[in-house]
């Protein structure tokens, strides 16, 4: 392969890993499948990463950054009320899930694999932090746009929302019931909207 900074090589391998896991599942994410996807020779993997597990861990870390970033522009609802804005954003995620289920499934597989490797860890705040921080920002912005204030810490609410998104995902993947997933999204929006003070108060 042509000369290439190691950093760029690592990024390309991570991207190829995400593509392979999305297409063939975590079980199909072998060293050979990944380097083939990336158009690299077999040896390139152990030149950029110490082991395949290291690459999968890096891919899992990249996921929390990349995936939740796709949700970023979902909460860009116009001047509607807070609950409607939240419901629109969450429903947009459901549509994204229904349109590209393999992608969300791949993200869950990688996240779970990372969770297993950290099962016997100390407290371990974990790599979820970026997703939580992003969701907290979105919630804060949504409240500001609606002219209301959260009655509870946004960090706590953000964690509830992230958990609910995960649950919506696993449940939809199990039954493919898009209507029900939208209903769950509205349920969460209503629950979140119940945690604000009166408008302009």
Partner DNA sequence: TCTCAAGTTGGACGACCGTCCAACATGAAG
Partner DNA sequence: CTTCATGTTGGACGGTCGTCCAACTTGAGA
Catalog residues that contact DNA under the rule CB under 7 A: 1-4, 6, 9, 28-33, 40-47, 51-53
Is the distance from CB of 92 to CB of 168 less than 8 angstroms?
no
Is the distance from CB of 40 to CB of 12 less than 8 angstroms?
yes
For residue 148, give both structure tokens: 């209301």
CB of 124 to a second copy, least distance (A): 6
Stretch that binds a second copy, among 11-19, 87-95, 137-145, 173-181 (CB under 8 A): 173-181
Pick from 69, 126, 133, 151: which binds a second copy (CB under 8 A)? Answer: 126
Nearer to DNA among residue 48 and residue 94 (C-beta):
48
Of a second copy, DNA, none, which one does residue 42 interact with (CB within 5 to 8 Å by kind)? DNA
CA dihedral sign of residues 93, 99, 101, 103:
negative
Residue 160 interacting with a second copy (CB under 8 A): yes
Q: Is 150 helix (H, G, I), strand (E, B) or coil?
A: strand
Residue 198 interacting with a second copy (CB under 8 A): no
CB of 106 to DNA, least distance (A): 16
196: left (phi over 0), alpha (psi -120 to 50) or beta: beta
> How many Cβ atoms are within 10 Å of 191's Cβ, its own excluded?
15
Q: What size, in residues, is the chain?
A: 201
Alpha-carbon distance of 66 to 39, in angstroms, equals 22
Of DNA, a second copy, none, which one does residue 199 interact with (CB within 5 to 8 Å by kind)? none
Give the bridge partners for 59, in sequence order: none
CB of 98 to DNA, least distance (A): 30
Give the bridge partners for 150, in sequence order: 196
Contacting positions for a second copy (CB under 8 A) = 25-27, 101-102, 105, 108-109, 111-116, 118-119, 121, 123-128, 156-157, 159-160, 162-168, 170-171, 173-177, 180, 183-184, 187-188, 190-191, 194
């Amino acid at each position: 392969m042509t000369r290439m900074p190691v950093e760029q090589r690592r990024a390309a391998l991570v991207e190829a890993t995400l593509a392979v896991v999305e297409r063939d599942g975590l079980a199909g994410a072998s060293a050979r499948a990944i380097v083939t996807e990336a158009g690299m020779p077999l040896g390139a993997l152990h030149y950029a990463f110490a082991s395949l597990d290291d690459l999968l861990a890096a891919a899992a870390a990249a996921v929390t950054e990349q995936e939740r970033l796709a949700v970023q522009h979902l909460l860009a609802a116009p001047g509607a009320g807070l609950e409607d804005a939240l419901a629109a954003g969450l429903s947009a995620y459901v549509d994204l899930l229904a349109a590209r289920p393999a992608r969300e499934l791949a993200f869950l597989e990688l996240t779970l694999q990372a969770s297993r490797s950290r099962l016997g860890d100390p407290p371990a705040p974990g790599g979820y932090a970026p997703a939580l921080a992003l969701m907290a920002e979105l919630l804060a912005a949504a409240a500001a746009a609606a002219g209301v204030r959260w009655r509870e810490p946004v960090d706590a609410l953000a964690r509830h929302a992230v958990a609910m998104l995960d649950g919506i995902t696993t449940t939809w993947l199990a039954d493919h019931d898009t209507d029900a997933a939208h209903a769950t999204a509205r349920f969460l929006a209503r629950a979140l909207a119940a945690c604000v003070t009166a408008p302009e108060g």
